[in-house]
Amino acid sequence: MRIDILTLFPKMFEGVLGESIIKRARKKGKVDVRVHNLRDWTDDKHRKVDDKPFGGGPGMVIKPQPLFDAVSALKRGASRVVLMTPQGKTLTQSVAKKISGYKHIIIVCGHYEGIDERFRRKLVTDEISLGDFVLTGGEIPAMALVDSLVRLVPGVVGDRDSLEFESFASGLLEYPQYTRPAEFRGLGVPGVLLSGDHNKIDVWRREMAMKRTRSRRPDMYKKMKEKK
């Protein structure tokens, strides 16, 4: 997978892309992530990317010229152009799984009061939001999207089974997890997990996942029940 990120603040990505799973995935050549400064495609000596909105109003709007030129330079065949925006579809595990199947995506980090609508209408293929709240810009949402995509690329996460049992992968929240010691400060581990009976363990985990989902995310639980 190739991921190109267009941003006004490329240094924000250094820590996220240089640590943990993403760092290892890049080093092994499983994913190619490149960060670009949108100002590199401006056509004036001041590298200005924004201007006042037509019709008046607060704030500034990112101009179409640098956006069109940047995407034109980076696009390759069937590239997907993903705009991080509060107006987009909420990022869920199923959305991440779909996008992870694309060979090349260009992520555009929105900023200021937004971007020129002509770019959105002409070149954007996907609009993604982290939720119903507002952040300073699209950089942090872009980091979250990249992290969710990279770990789905085959060969990135060592134990593929772990992906199947994570929260949201099956439509349920993940079951409770325990590790050694079996007793800690008077708190024990459920006996079934120490039994060695994997059939019983699987049943217990399913029951706990259902119970936790019903309690904490009734919306997910209802949707899961409706599918049956």
Residue 194 pLDDT greater than 90, yes or no: yes
pLDDT digits (tens, 9 = 90+) for 63-73: 999 999 999 99
Of 133-137, 200-204, 223-227, highest mean pLDDT: 200-204
pLDDT digits (tens, 9 = 90+) for 208-221: 999 999 999 999 89
d(CA 154, CA 100): 10
Q: CA nearest 41: which of 14, 19, 74, 16?
A: 74
pLDDT digits (tens, 9 = 90+) for 124-179: 999 999 999 989 999 999 999 999 999 999 999 875 555 555 556 678 899 999 99
Residue limits of CATH 1.10.1270.20 in the chain:
165-227
Q: CA nearest 149: which of 8, 18, 32, 13?
A: 32
Q: How far is the CA of 73 from the CAs of 80, 99, 193, in angstroms? A: 14, 21, 55
Take residue 197 and report the two structure tokens written for it. 């009976």
Q: For residue 112, what pLDDT is reported?
A: 75
- Determine contact, residues 4/36, Cβ cutoff 8 Å: yes
pLDDT digits (tens, 9 = 90+) for 34-51: 999 999 999 988 999 999
Answer yes or no: CATH 3.40.50.970 is held by domain 2-150.
no
Report how many helices (DSSP H) and strands (DSSP E) the chain contains, helices first.
9, 9
Percentage of the chain exceeding pLDDT 70: 95
Q: How far is the CA of 77 from the CAs of 5, 29, 95, 105, 157, in angstroms? A: 17, 21, 22, 11, 28
CATH number of 165-227: 1.10.1270.20
- Determine contact, residues 112/156, Cβ cutoff 8 Å: no
Residue limits of CATH 3.40.1280.10 in the chain:
2-150
